[in-house]
């Protein structure tokens, strides 16, 4: 008997564990663990979803996401023919690895980069190359130093989750200029809408002005509040999109999700309101936690990485204490950050409750 074996790399994967949504003994909880939008989706997106559900649940969706690509292109001033839509942006990261790397190839990502990266890399049998960061921030020189003749892809989350740090436009350009032309640079910009820095952009100009070797991935799960709908998109060269279309699922974005995303991307007022809420609470929450004795990594996302003075033991104790009060935050020991907790910006009342209980914990 010859046992059935998976392809090389699959058994090296540590399965992704989503943030908890329930606590035993609590009917309702304050969930600040998954970087979901506290403002929820646009009411227009909800209405569009209901209308789509009533009009054609028996019909297959548009496999090309034509209207959605046109809406995204209109809002971001991009060519719709250079946009591809997906079942969440993570699907695109999987497809890019599948399309451009295989056994024996190397894919680079940063020390505190998105935890899905090693899952994706092992999934195609490639070798993960983890590059050290500088003060929880991607280091361009370290990335370039890690490149070998086997390097096929560089994944850069910008801003990064779970740290919230970012690279400036000039640093990302320096990275692209320093890479070989046959290395694909994937700019994972899931949190781009939250950034409030003049020296940042998602990377569209690199797609427009460079060779056919850079792509930017985006999502509707964060500022648009459509995490349950699973809609992502990317802007890239037509040559790369051609490869992705060949290997993606035919109907990978449902009709309901397309309708929701079209309405959401057009509701700029709701996006502005959500960003304003984040800009209000991000510094306020950071300062309050630092006054309690914590160290907060400066963030450009909708979350805070808070480091405890007492290290991993104190972080775990704080997590346990918060859960006893019905509040869920995100331990990040799986990122080798056991001395910290990642805390999503919540509603006004949720943030106030968090600060009340954190104050009680330190007291």
With contact defined as beta carbons under 8 Å apart, do 45 and 226 qualify? yes
Q: For each of the chain's 363 residues, which pLDDT tens digit applies?
A: 788 988 888 888 888 888 888 888 889 999 999 999 999 999 999 999 999 998 888 999 999 999 999 999 999 999 999 999 999 999 999 999 999 999 999 999 999 999 999 999 999 999 999 999 999 999 999 999 999 999 999 999 999 999 999 999 999 999 999 999 999 999 999 999 999 999 999 999 999 987 899 999 999 999 999 999 999 999 999 999 999 999 999 999 999 999 999 999 999 999 999 999 999 999 999 999 999 999 999 999 999 999 999 999 999 999 999 999 999 999 999 999 999 999 999 999 999 999 999 999 999
pLDDT the model gives residue 227: 97
Query: What CATH number was assigned to the domain covering residues 10-31+269-362?
Result: 3.90.1150.10
Q: In what order do the strands lie in the sheet with 214-219?
A: 83-86, 232-235, 214-219, 184-188, 151-157, 106-110, 127-131
Taking the model in full, what pTM does it have?
Answer: 0.95
What is the pLDDT at residue 322? 98
Tell me which residue of 280, 260, 249 sits closest to 346, measured CA to CA.
Answer: 280
pLDDT recorded at residue 18? 82
pLDDT of residue 278: 98
User: How would you label 101-130 residue by residue, b for 16+ Cβ within 10 Å and e otherwise?
Assistant: beeebbbbbbbbbbebbbbbbbbbbbbbbb
Return the half-sphere exposure (C-beta side, CA atoms, 13 A cut-off) of residue 283.
Answer: 6
Q: Which pLDDT belongs to residue 25? A: 87
Q: Which pLDDT does position 54 carry in this prediction?
A: 85
Overall fold of domain 43-267: 3.40.640
Q: Domain coordinates of the chain in residue numbers? A: 10-31+269-362, 43-267
Rounded Cα distance between 288 and 61, Å, is 47
Task: Indicate the pairing of strand 151-157 with strand 106-110.
Answer: parallel
Residues whose CB falls within 8 Å of the CB of residue 228, separated by 6 or more in sequence, listed in order: none
Q: Encoding tokens for residue 247?
A: 């290997």
Q: Do domains 10-31+269-362 and 43-267 have the same CATH topology?
A: no
């Amino acid at each position: 008997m010859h046992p059935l074996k998976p392809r090389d790399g699959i058994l090296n994967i540590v399965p992704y564990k989503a943030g908890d949504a329930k606590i035993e003994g609590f009917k309702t909880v304050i969930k600040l663990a998954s970087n979901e939008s506290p403002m929820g989706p646009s009411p227009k997106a909800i209405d569009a979803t209901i209308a789509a559900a009533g009009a054609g649940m028996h019909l297959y969706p548009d496999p090309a996401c034509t209207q959605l690509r046109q809406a995204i292109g209109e809002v971001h001033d991009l060519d719709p023919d250079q946009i591809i839509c997906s079942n969440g942006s993570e699907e695109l990261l999987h497809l890019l690895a599948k399309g451009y790397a295989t056994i024996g190839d190397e894919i680079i990502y940063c020390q505190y980069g998105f935890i899905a990266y090693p899952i994706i890399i092992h999934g195609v049998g490639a070798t993960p190359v983890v590059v050290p960061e500088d003060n929880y921030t991607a280091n361009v020189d370290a990335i370039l130093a890690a490149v070998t003749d086997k390097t096929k892809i560089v994944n850069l989350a910008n801003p990064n989750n779970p740290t919230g740090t970012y690279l400036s436009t000039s640093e990302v350009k320096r990275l692209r200029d320093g890479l070989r032309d046959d290395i694909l640079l994937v700019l994972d910009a899931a949190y781009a809408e939250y950034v409030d820095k003049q020296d940042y952009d998602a990377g569209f100009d690199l797609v427009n002005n460079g060779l056919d070797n850079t792509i930017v991935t985006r999502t509707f799960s964060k500022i648009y509040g459509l995490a349950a709908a699973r809609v992502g998109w990317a802007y890239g060269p037509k040559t790369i999109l051609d490869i992705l279309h060949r290997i993606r699922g035919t109907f990978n974005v449902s009709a309901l999700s397309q309708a929701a995303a079209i309405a959401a991307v057009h509701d700029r007022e709701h996006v502005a309101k959500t960003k304003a809420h984040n800009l209000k609470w991000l510094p306020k929450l950071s300062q309050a936690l630092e006054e309690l004795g914590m160290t907060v990594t400066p963030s450009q996302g909708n979350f805070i990485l808070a480091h405890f003075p007492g290290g991993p033991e104190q972080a775990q104790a704080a997590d346990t204490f918060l859960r006893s009060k019905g509040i869920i935050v995100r331990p990040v020991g799986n990122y080798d950050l056991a001395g910290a907790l990642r805390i999503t910006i919540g509603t006004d009342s949720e943030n106030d409750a968090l600060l009340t209980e954190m104050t009680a914990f330190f007291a």
